[in-house]
Amino acid sequence: MPDGNIYSLPTFYDPDFKSVVIGSELWINKKFLSALGMKEPTTTEEFYQYLKAVKTGDPNGNGKNDEIPYAASGVGGLLDQLKGSWGLGNRGNTHPRVDMDPDTGKLRFIPADPKYKELLQYVNRLYKENLFIPEILTIKGNEVLAKGKDGLYGSFMYTNADTFGDHKDDYTGANALTGPGGERLFSRARSPLVDAGAFAITSSNKYPEATMRWADYFYSEEGSTMFFMGIKDKSYVVKPDGSVDYTDEYKADPEFGKKYVTWAGGYYPAMLTAKTFKGGESSPANLEAAKKIEPYYPEEVWPPFTYTQDEVARFTSLETDISAYVEEMTTKFVTGDAPFSEWDNYVATLKKMGLDDYMDIYNQAYERYKKE
């Protein structure tokens, strides 16, 4: 922290384990591509044309107009995915609204940039042409997964399609798309430092040294294996090549492994590696998708920044108000409830809300990060 002290332990992902660092991905229905005679989209325009073809071309061949071109809960994931096609998000998605302006070398507030307006205009076109699941702004994630079992999605945003039953192998991970200006970047890249505050000890802990020894164990390979995989020959086995995998009993009935496997999702004090973690992100499809994306990863991905005690109150207040307004207006621009002729008023309102102060505090935190 800025005062030189350590107050918590992090969740940390192996930087080379790109599929888990990426997390959720954009997936394209390769069976639909084949039926439509189309290649996998490599540009935003090709993605648009593919979504249109899914809507009108009956790629599942049932004679009904029941295909859903794109499905997700909300449009935020797609916006984060596509920012890089407009050269935005060049420091990754741990800071989804701030990156580095390549022209000035200064921090940039992405939602106020003219290129973000162009991105919103693109997504507005998809929305107006009904290329999204109809209830995209209100549907919950579990509902998206449930509907996906019918095999009607042309594309969707999630970890993978493993919950889609017979249709789980229909999808391939999308690559970063080239935008109208020729820019191509995977802007949804996350920092391997996923959560700086995954574990903390309160002042009432009577045995801090012992607690820290216990927590430290989970950062080792042995501890990580136990945390994520459980007990050898009970919930996991070691294969001849030295890799580990869950037992058939565990795969058939995850309830069986609950008495052996500590990991329950979320964040935790541990180092997650490809060798010791066999969740959905380690599937062959996820690994292949990450391999496609890796050439377009940002050269630098910022981790979370830290703020001084004096900065926190002001920064939190500004961030709460500014973020709420950005989300509100982003939705309105996407749906057309706010015309793009209001863009300048939107940017002016951000200024009135204290955007300059917000960016000043952000810059101070960035400068500290550079010195670490």
Whether 98 contacts 315, CB under 8 Å: no
Whether 315 contacts 189, CB under 8 Å: no
Confidence of residue 279 (pLDDT cuts 50, 70, 90): confident
The fourth-level CATH superfamily of domain 24-173 is Periplasmic binding protein-like II (3.40.190.10)
- Write down the pLDDT at residue 281: 87
Task: Kindly report, residue by residue over 165-202, the tens digit of the pLDDT.
Answer: 899 999 999 999 999 999 999 999 999 998 889 999 99
* DSSP structure string for 226-273: HHHH-SBTTTEEE-TTS-EEE-HHHHH-HHHHTTT----SS--SEEE-
- Report d(CA 211, CA 242) in Å as an integer: 31
- Compute the average pLDDT of residues 22-39: 96
- Compute the average pLDDT of residues 70-98: 97
- Among 358, 341, 371, 330, smallest CA distance to 124 is for 330
Q: Where are the domains of the chain?
A: 9-17+194-279, 24-173, 312-371
Backbone phi and psi for residue 111, each to the nearest 5 degrees, phi listed first: -65, -5
Q: How many residues belong to the chain?
A: 372
Backbone phi and psi for residue 316, each to the nearest 5 degrees, phi listed first: -60, -40
- Report d(CA 75, CA 331) in Å as an integer: 8
CB count in 10 Å sphere of residue 202: 6
Cα atoms in the 13 Å half-sphere on the side-chain side of 31: 14
Task: Kindly report, residue by residue over 93-117, the tens digit of the pLDDT.
Answer: 999 999 999 999 999 999 999 999 9
Rounded (to 5) percent helix, strand, coil in the chain: 45, 15, 40
Across the chain, the runs of DSSP E, i.e. the strands, are 9-13, 25-29, 98-100, 107-109, 155-158, 171-173, 193-199, 236-238, 244-246, 270-272
Task: Kindly report, residue by residue over 130-139, the tens digit of the pLDDT.
Answer: 999 999 999 9
AA identity, residue 36: L
- Compute the average pLDDT of residues 347-354: 98
